[in-house]
Amino acid sequence: MPLRSPVFIGCTGQGDRSVFPRAGKPYWDSSPAFRAKLYEAEGWFPDLRVIELAVYEDNPKKLVPTEVAQPIAYALALAIAATLVEQGEKAFRRKNTIYGGQSIGTAAAGVLAHAYSGSFGASLVGERSAFMHQACQKTKGKMVALIIYPDALSDIETICSTYGIQVGNYNSPSQIVLTGKIKWVDRAVDKLKEKQLARRVIPLLTEGAYHNEELMAGAVPPMIQWLDQNLPAEFHPQSVLIGNQGQIIASREEAIAELSAGIAQPSRFCAVMDTVYTQFRAKQTIECGPGKVIEGMVNDYKKTLGGSSSKRMKQLAVSITAVTAAAIFTTALLHNDHNDS
């Protein structure tokens, strides 16, 4: 009997609109497993009102602080996974299932891949979010999502470089996120509008400039130190675990690099999809998140690579996904002339 094609289970993160008012309410009302996991998360994060924030909170501003958003994203991802298991989803029991996530979603993916426990993952998320919160307090940064034509990416990156900002997320061939100091992100967006390089501009409600190599650099060393001291020595995922550069995370050293360097380096979900759908030839994605964000990214990826007759467009889309090796983080100052906000 032929083996089933692998399934990709993706956990959404905080910045992709998976943390929004009353995000967990439909699951809370219908799933005992979801409720049980959120009660467990209340114990993991005793200083947060996890159930109230994930299920009943109406004010989006209360969900913005990093120390709130990341734990809630983590709890929601695992609670929705528990709901899917409760509903009979068999992919969670198959050995060839692939796990990954968007940014902090990788922490939840590690739990689902049986690399470490849910309680340890919660400790990791708590520390990571605290370090990132501190970094956000030191500079006034922002993030803006762009819907683009794939062949405009190079021009957009050039403008970002001119204004001392960067692409922080390569989410899909048609969707990226800019990250940097407020003043220079705004000026870059004005230039992109002037040149008609962005089909749509979507301001993101975040505490700061996540995935920015300069502004988030301060959070990386303490995260490395914490992971080195606390990540279980017996770290061995029982399934394939994919990092945010599209790389396979199989060792403790690779996990430390991913979970620390990933704070500041760009998140390349396109590279994740390239690994999942090209290298492993997965046929299905299951999203552990309330916003159906990953589903949209996967559909865009498949449409751009498979549905376009333009060889140039296909080459550009593939170029976004070119990073496949484990990334080694190095801090780089971006255009000192534009650093003052």
**pLDDT tens-digit profile of 30-62?**
999 999 999 999 999 999 999 999 999 999 999
Are residues 201 and 295 both part of a single domain? Answer: no
Average pLDDT for 196-216: 93
% of residues, the chain, pLDDT over 70? 87
Confidence of residue 4 (pLDDT cuts 50, 70, 90): confident
Would residue 32 count as lying in a domain? yes
Residue 329 included in any domain: no
- Judge whether residue 326 has pLDDT over 70: no
Q: Are residues 44 and 32 in the same domain?
A: yes
| Mean pLDDT in residue range 161-181 | 95
Same domain, 102 and 131: yes
20 in Cβ contact with 63 (< 8 Å): yes
SS3 145: strand
Q: Residue 3's pLDDT band (boundaries 50, 70, 90)?
A: low
Euclidean distance between CA atoms 277 and 230, whole angstroms: 33
Amino acid identity of residue 75, one-letter, is A
- According to DSSP, residue 103 is labeled T
Same domain, 300 and 234: yes
Clarify whether residues 107 and 22 are in a common domain: yes
233-252: average pLDDT: 95
181: domain CATH number is 3.30.70.250
CA torsion, ordered 294, 300, 306, 309, to nearest 10 deg: -170
Quick check: is 325 in a domain?
no
Percent of the chain with pLDDT over 90: 77
Please give the mean pLDDT across all residues of the chain: 87
Instruction: Examine the domain organization and report whether 21 and 112 are in the same domain.
Output: yes
Question: Is 2 among the domain residues?
Answer: no
CA atoms of 244 and 323, how far apart (whole Å): 10
Dmax of the chain from CA atoms? 63
Same domain, 59 and 184: no
Pairing of strands 141-148, 198-203: antiparallel
Mean pLDDT of 226-235: 95
Helix or strand or coil: residue 10? strand
Residue 2 φ/ψ region, left for φ over 0, alpha for ψ in the -120 to 50 degree band, beta for the rest: beta
The rounded distance, in Å, linking the Cα atoms of 241 and 249 is: 5
Q: Do both 13 and 144 map to the same domain?
A: no
Domain count, the chain: 2
Q: Is residue 333 part of a domain?
A: no
Q: Record the tokens describing residue 188, joined without a space.
A: 């870059």
Domain of residue 182, residue span: 139-208
Q: Are 184 and 163 in contact (CB under 8 A)?
A: yes
Question: pLDDT tens for residues 272-311?
Answer: 999 999 899 998 999 999 988 888 888 888 887 654 434 4
Q: Is the pLDDT of residue 251 over 80?
A: yes
1 assigned to some structural domain? no
Q: How many CB atoms lie within 10 A of CB 134?
A: 14
Are 44 and 125 part of one and the same domain?
yes
In the prediction, which pLDDT does 162 show? 97
* CATH number of the domain residue 59 falls in: 3.40.366.10
Same domain (yes/no): 65, 190: no
The pTM score is 0.87
pLDDT of 65 over the 50 cut: yes
Residues 244 and 298 reside in one and the same domain: yes
Question: Domain for residue 337, yes or no?
Answer: no
Q: Do residues 282 and 6 touch, judged by C-beta distance below 8 A? A: yes
Residues 87 and 236 in one domain: yes
